[in-house]
């Protein structure tokens, strides 16, 4: 273990590459890669990694990047890739197939605003667009969390009780291009954490089986149900993977949600990624001044950690959900799932949505303070509030 000052992209590239290398005694590793700002450094890192038993295929599109990755995974290799924004949109058909084929592929998504208008800055609308596919999704707030969560994602995805692909996500530039102190595990440690991949349904060259042909409605339904059952097992298996991570690497990769000050909080902020870092500092200062406020950082988005979230908000009367994404006509996506989580459980809980940081806008401590002030004044939840723009109606500047 050494500590280096590296970017989030470097951390992601290191995690993907060492995970792939760890399967050298198994069926090796292979992937398709394609550049897009701001994730390009990840695939560049992967491309120059000296794999003992691996092949990195630089392809002609994101669609084919996931295509090659799927082909490699079907053949039993540890497979991964990375993308962002419109690249994820172009890749989408094959992202969906990776999930329904139950392939434990790990992808790093660098959250960048979808165009047009063209914009390279942070917005989670790209990976959240993929929310209804059978993929696990994790949102990270710094390079260390990206590295740790990516390694954990392999272990979780490859667990025979799960066998679903996983995505680790980070905010464009704020994490992807910012250098921070990061503990880098040795290859031998990664080897210990990630045993050889054993994909039970891999296509063998001497076995006459057809994968992906027609299935009648009842067969298709059974396969969907199996995915749902696997999704339901994720919270427990995650804790096992987290525990063994602590044992191998000596640090905590973080829980599916991470709370700060929620035990007695009357007002709780729910935030993701780097917004959570900023919100935590605001909450820390204001709690020191005696205010009963808290923070829930959502790390896992799929499956949505309903039980953990309900548990964390027991003392709360008001909740602000900060969404760095916007589902056209339907508000923020974390807000939608948060409301659904408390429906019928805590109908007294005021859940207000704040659309903030969209299209790469900065979410500063002042923005968080403004949100907390608005939340404290509310008797009822209203429509999602657009932060930082004058809409002419319910608006906060």
| Interface segment toward other proteins; rule CB under 8 A; list 22-30, 144-152, 279-287, 322-330 | 22-30
Size of the site for other proteins (CB under 8 A): 45
Other C-beta atoms closer than 10 Å to the C-beta of 392 total 6
Q: Does 328 bind other proteins (CB under 8 A)?
A: no
**33 φ/ψ angles, rounded to the nearest 5 degrees:** -130, 150
Contact flag: residue 107 with other proteins (CB under 8 A): no
The b/e string for 358-375 (b: 16+ C-beta within 10 A; e otherwise) is bbbbebeeebbebbbebb
Q: Which stretch binds other proteins (CB under 8 A): 56-64, 168-176, 225-233, 333-341?
A: 56-64
| Residue 285: count of CB within 10 angstroms of its CB | 12
Q: Please choose, out of 67-75, 187-195, 278-286, 372-380, the segment that lies near other proteins by the rule CB under 8 A.
A: 67-75
Nearest alpha-carbon partner for 223 in 97, 68, 392, 386: 97
**Helix (H, G, I), strand (E, B), or coil: what is residue 395?**
strand
Residue 211 in the binding site for other proteins (CB under 8 A): yes
The least distance separating other proteins from the CB of residue 114, rounded to whole angstroms, comes to 21
C-alpha 158/C-alpha 104 separation (Å) is: 5
Q: Does 64 bind other proteins (CB under 8 A)?
A: yes
Measured from the CB atom, the residue of 199 and 234 that comes closer to other proteins is 199
**Binding of other proteins at residue 288 (CB under 8 A)?**
no
Q: Examine residue 283 and tell whether it contacts other proteins (CB under 8 A).
A: no
Residue 28 near other proteins by CB under 8 A: yes
Distance of alpha carbon 245 from alpha carbon 234, whole angstroms? 16
Q: How far is CA 42 from CA 55, 83, 146, in A?
A: 16, 9, 12
Closest CB to other proteins among residues 129, 197: 197
Asked if 67 touches other proteins (CB under 8 A), the answer is yes
If one asks whether residue 74 binds other proteins (CB under 8 A), the answer comes out as: yes
| Cα 358 to Cα 124: distance, rounded to the nearest angstrom | 8
Among 47, 89, 97, 114, binds other proteins (CB under 8 A): 97
379 binds other proteins (CB under 8 A): no
Please name every residue paired with 302 in a beta bridge, in sequence order, or none if there are none.
Answer: 137
The residue ranges that bind other proteins (CB under 8 A) are: 27-28, 30-32, 53-55, 57, 59-61, 63-65, 67-77, 79, 93-94, 97, 203-216, 219
């Amino acid at each position: 273990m050494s500590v280096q000052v590296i970017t989030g992209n470097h951390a992601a590239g290191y995690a993907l590459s060492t995970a792939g290398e760890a399967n050298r005694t198994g069926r090796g590793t292979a992937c398709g890669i394609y550049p897009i700002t701001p994730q390009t450094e990840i695939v560049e890192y992967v491309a120059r990694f000296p794999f003992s038993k691996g092949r990195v295929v630089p392809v002609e599109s994101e669609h084919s990047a996931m295509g090659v990755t799927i082909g490699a995974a079907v053949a039993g290799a540890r497979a991964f890739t990375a993308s962002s924004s419109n690249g994820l949109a172009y890749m989408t058909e094959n992202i969906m197939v990776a999930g329904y084929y139950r392939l434990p592929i790990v992808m790093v998504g660098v959250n960048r605003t979808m165009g047009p208008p063209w914009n390279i800055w942070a917005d989670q609308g790209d990976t959240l667009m993929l929310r209804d596919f059978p993929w696990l999704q994790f949102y990270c707030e710094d390079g260390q969390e990206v590295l740790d969560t990516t390694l954990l994602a392999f272990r979780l995805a490859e667990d025979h009780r799960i066998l679903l692909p996983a995505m680790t996500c980070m905010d464009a530039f704020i994490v992807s291009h910012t250098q921070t102190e990061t503990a880098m595990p040795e290859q031998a440690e990664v080897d210990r954490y990630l045993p050889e991949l054993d994909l039970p349904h891999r296509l063998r060259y001497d076995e006459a089986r057809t994968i992906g042909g027609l299935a009648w409605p009842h067969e298709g339904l059974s396969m969907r149900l199996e995915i749902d059952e696997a999704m339901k097992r994720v919270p427990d298996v995650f804790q096992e993977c987290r525990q063994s991570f602590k044992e191998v690497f000596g640090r905590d990769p973080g829980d599916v949600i991470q709370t700060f000050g929620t035990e007695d909080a009357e007002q709780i902020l729910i935030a993701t990624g780097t917004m959570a870092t900023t919100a935590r500092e605001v909450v820390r200062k204001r709690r020191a001044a005696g205010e009963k406020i808290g923070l829930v950082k959502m790390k896992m988005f799929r499956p949505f950690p309903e039980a953990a979230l309900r548990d964390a908000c027991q003392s709360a009367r008001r909740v602000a959900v900060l969404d760095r994404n916007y589902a056209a006509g339907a508000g923020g996506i974390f807000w939608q799932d948060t409301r659904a989580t408390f429906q019928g459980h805590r109908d007294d809980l005021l859940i207000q949505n704040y659309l903030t940081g969209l299209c790469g806008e900065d979410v500063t401590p002042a923005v968080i303070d403004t949100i907390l002030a608005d939340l404290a004044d509310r008797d009822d939840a209203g429509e999602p509030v657009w932060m930082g723009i004058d809409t002419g109606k319910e608006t906060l500047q």
